[in-house]
Amino acid sequence: MAQSTAAPMPTIQTVTPLPLRTLAPWAVFFGVLMLVLLYFVGAEQGATAVLSGEGVHEWVHDSRHLLGFPCH
């Protein structure tokens, strides 16, 4: 009784891309979030400061240097 059993072939399922209508609100949200973060890291000091004091400057001080923004 020599019978060979072949393993069943795996089925390949195609992944449909996300519709733009579903992706667009998230892309806009994260784009605005990144612009706000870039502002606070790069420009929140001196004459363009939205918040008074040095608190934001001190919180993002090291990231300014890491990203190449001058701050002093």
pLDDT value at residue 6: 73
pLDDT value at residue 64: 80
pLDDT value at residue 30: 97
Is the residue at 56 inside a domain? no
Is the residue at 54 inside a domain? no
Per the CB < 8 A criterion, the answer to whether 69 and 42 are in contact is yes
| Residue 64 CA: distances (Å) to CA of 14, 33, 44, 50, 51 | 44, 17, 11, 17, 17
DSSP structure class, residue 46? G
The residue ranges of the chain whose pLDDT is under 70 are: 1-2, 4, 44-48, 71-72
pLDDT value at residue 41: 77
Cα–Cα dist 7/15, whole Å: 24
Q: Is 5 left (phi over 0), alpha (psi -120 to 50) or beta?
A: beta
Is the residue at 16 inside a domain? no
Domain encompassing residue 30 = 22-47
Is the residue at 43 inside a domain? yes
**What total of structural domains would you count in the chain?**
1
pLDDT value at residue 25: 95
